[in-house]
């Protein structure tokens, strides 16, 4: 396709990289706190208080399910933080490459 108007296709949105980076940092901080809190919860204490009862077995089973869900939740948060960091890095790299291209073309 021959472009004679010298327009450059642009995205229909803008990205504020600093806001995205702060968001990633906030999620990372909150994730650390959430994971620490969730791993400190012991739902199976009831099994000690009522050993031998049906409630004790239910509490132990619930603890297992809770630990599994907490682990999945923590892993999902950490994946999100990693993906957000990668996006920020990618946007910054694009910005740096564009600045280099401009400097190369117009001189620094």
pLDDT number for residue 108: 64
pLDDT number for residue 11: 64
pLDDT < 70 regions, the chain? 1-11, 108
pLDDT number for residue 45: 81
User: In angstroms, rounded to a whole number, what is the distance separating the alpha carbons of residues 80 and 35?
Assistant: 14
Domain boundaries, the chain: 24-93
User: In angstroms, rounded to a whole number, what is the distance separating the alpha carbons of residues 85 and 10?
Assistant: 23
pLDDT number for residue 89: 93
User: In angstroms, rounded to a whole number, what is the distance separating the alpha carbons of residues 13 and 18?
Assistant: 15
DSSP state of 9: -
pLDDT number for residue 59: 86
3-state secondary structure 80-97: HHHHHHHHHHHHHHHHHH
pTM above 0.75, yes or no: no
CB atoms inside a 10 Å sphere around CB 31 = 17
């Amino acid at each position: 396709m021959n472009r004679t108007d010298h327009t450059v296709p642009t995205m229909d949105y803008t990205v504020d990289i600093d806001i995205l980076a702060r968001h990633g940092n906030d999620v990372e901080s909150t994730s650390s706190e959430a994971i620490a809190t969730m791993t400190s919860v012991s739902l199976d204490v009831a099994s000690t208080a009522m050993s031998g009862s049906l409630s004790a077995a239910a509490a132990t089973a619930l603890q297992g399910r809770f630990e599994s869900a907490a682990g999945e939740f923590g892993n999902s948060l950490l994946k999100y933080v990693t993906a957000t960091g990668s996006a920020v890095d990618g946007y910054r790299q694009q910005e740096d490459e564009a600045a280099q291209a401009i400097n190369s073309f117009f001189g620094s």
